[in-house]
Structure 1
């Protein structure tokens, strides 16, 4: 035993867990949040209110939550997966019955000091339950039809409740994250091929149902699709958001216009500049270099999560870490694609950068699970 190993083993157990914390991951999360604080300060015209200051407080609270979750043994979270999933379902049902309405959608529970969005919580609890399910299920049964249908049902149940709010973006994230978990667990590729074929048929049905009595999407969701396919068809109406977003992205150039010098955001041409479209503000003010720097930080977070998962011999911990990494990837990939016109506008925030309480706290709690898996892995 080396002197370093002996020194670590002589440290009290609680403090030893802090030493085992994935500190590079924590620093990367802080760096990404720093981009968010900077941009929220900018879009408020050089003021910490009304967005930057509350975001900083939420991040500080979220980091405390992350460490606290990380200190709890991973076996506890494995045992709590079913309870967490059921709790998120009950919250989604509560939202459907009594939730607060905003911008035409019923997605929030008003707690007074903040608005809780249960659909954000469901993304993580779904990953937890699927990781626990495949940890329990013997490998030889993973691809058998009866054992494949169970996780499919577990995925579709919260997806249907979220889609009813309506929240198409989060519904798609739930489906993709659930499918990724099944893939990581070793489900045969033939099932995914069949789902892709059915997806093509479903997309065809969605377009065919427009304007009929069995229309499958809301009118505003069809307008988003139209805007995605041809933003110039209605530049002052449904295509306004993406048109202004592209102008902001293009005007940033290589190095940007400079901090707090973005015309699209400063003159309020850019919609939702502090939430869904905050990446375009960053790209306008700091250009390609700033946008690439943020993307690099995001990818490094994914790399650290994958590295932790691959080195973990516990199946639940490994699947959980990979699932959270995929969910995090989907967050920023969908948001960036959305504001660049590569995907329809579906209202997905940029993780740790966009203004919002529920998304940030839930995401940092999820990284607390990653920390728990890392701290308590067999050594």
Structure 2
């Protein structure tokens, strides 16, 4: 109790310089390490040259680092105050994608903002976490048992999930729902309600399958039997497994990966970057990278533990879950554990939109850490 009061008084009187020193610099260093792994992998994917991938990756990470540190010092009470405004903004971007989005790879998922191509579905997941955390942060146990209290946040999850699914982007739509579910769980929603939802999904799954696009159905069929279409839908996962297996324990060596450099491995700079790492650095290198990524996820959940307010705890759980799902889905996809989908490996894969939104999410997470003792009943800057 004494520690909590001291932390609260320190937070109220904290200036910009003190907040700067409160930033978890070891975590920042960890993120730099993950980005460095991405630079090395993309240097190899570019044929042993900084262009066209590695140099852009470094520039984007540098810009993202500035954005992240800036957000980290934004008062957590401001983030809470504008949580639902941010949510409405994110939904507006998704609607804009539907009306004027750029089509790529048969899907309409991006919008152009000046020189930047933004994928709003990535940003929406962060804005959704902030909005849900704001809704639940003062909820009592009794209110959590009231279905009417849970209806607005359920609708808040359903709207962006439906818009993302329509792009079509089934993978990101499912991840959006799972992130929302993680916040619901952390907020204290009864377990039987989750069981009810899971049972309903099981009943509706066959109906949903009938409404999938042909290429989405092909991904599921290919996942079950990749060899049924080795030169078509099954090609990507077959080549990925060949690359993973050929890396062995220690790998073929930097710039020596045959599957990647002979262009057998598709999308080696984005979705299948982990496969390229495993081929060149082997099982040891792949596990080392997974260890780095696990440390990033662990920090997110650590913030949930040390936060003195429910808003920060829910933010941390939601954002850590978001990053975990990125990593899990990408690695499971390239190893053939789940159907192939367009989910990058954050801070490692090539891509400006994913990099920026990931760093924004980490900025919000670090703000929760820096202001872990904040009094959310006081206004921003009070004290």
**TM-score, normalized by the shorter chain, greater than 0.5:** yes
Deviation (angstroms), 1:112: 4.2
2:202 corresponding residue in structure 1? 200
Which secondary structure does the structure 1 equivalent of 2:82 belong to? helix
2:223 corresponding residue in structure 1? 228
Deviation (angstroms), 1:332: 0.4
* Counterpart mapping for 1:125-144 below 5 A: 125-144=127-146
What value does the CA root-mean-square deviation take over the aligned residues? 1.7
Deviations 1:174-224 (A, max 9, x none): 0100001100000000111011111111223244xxxxxxx3100000000
| Paired residues, number | 366
Deviations 1:82-111 (A, max 9, x none): 011000100000000001100000000123
Which secondary structure does the structure 1 equivalent of 2:336 belong to? coil
**In structure 1, what is the Cα distance between the partners aligned to 2:81 and 2:116?**
29
1:52 corresponding residue in structure 2? 54
**In structure 1, what is the Cα distance between the partners aligned to 2:52 and 2:233?**
28
**In structure 1, what is the Cα distance between the partners aligned to 2:208 and 2:230?**
24
1:368 corresponding residue in structure 2? 363
Given the alignment, which residue of 256, 273, 277 partners 2:272?
Answer: 277
2:346 corresponding residue in structure 1? 351
Given the alignment, which residue of 239, 243, 257 partners 2:234?
Answer: 239
Residues 158 and 177 of structure 2 are in contact (CA less than 8 Å); yes or no, is this contact kept in structure 1? yes
Which secondary structure does the structure 2 equivalent of 1:217 belong to? coil
TM-score by length of 1: 0.94
1:42 corresponding residue in structure 2? 44
**In structure 2, what is the Cα distance between the partners aligned to 1:112 and 1:151?**
33
**In structure 1, what is the Cα distance between the partners aligned to 2:29 and 2:145?**
39
**In structure 1, what is the Cα distance between the partners aligned to 2:152 and 2:112?**
33
Given the alignment, which residue of 313, 321, 324 partners 2:319?
Answer: 324
2:379 corresponding residue in structure 1? none
Residues 74 and 367 of structure 2 are in contact (CA less than 8 Å); yes or no, is this contact kept in structure 1? yes
1:212 corresponding residue in structure 2? none
Deviations 1:150-187 (A, max 9, x none): 21111010000000000011101101000011000000
Any stretches of 5+ residues in structure 2 without a counterpart?
Answer: 375-383
2:257 corresponding residue in structure 1? 262
Given the alignment, which residue of 116, 119, 132 partners 1:117?
Answer: 119
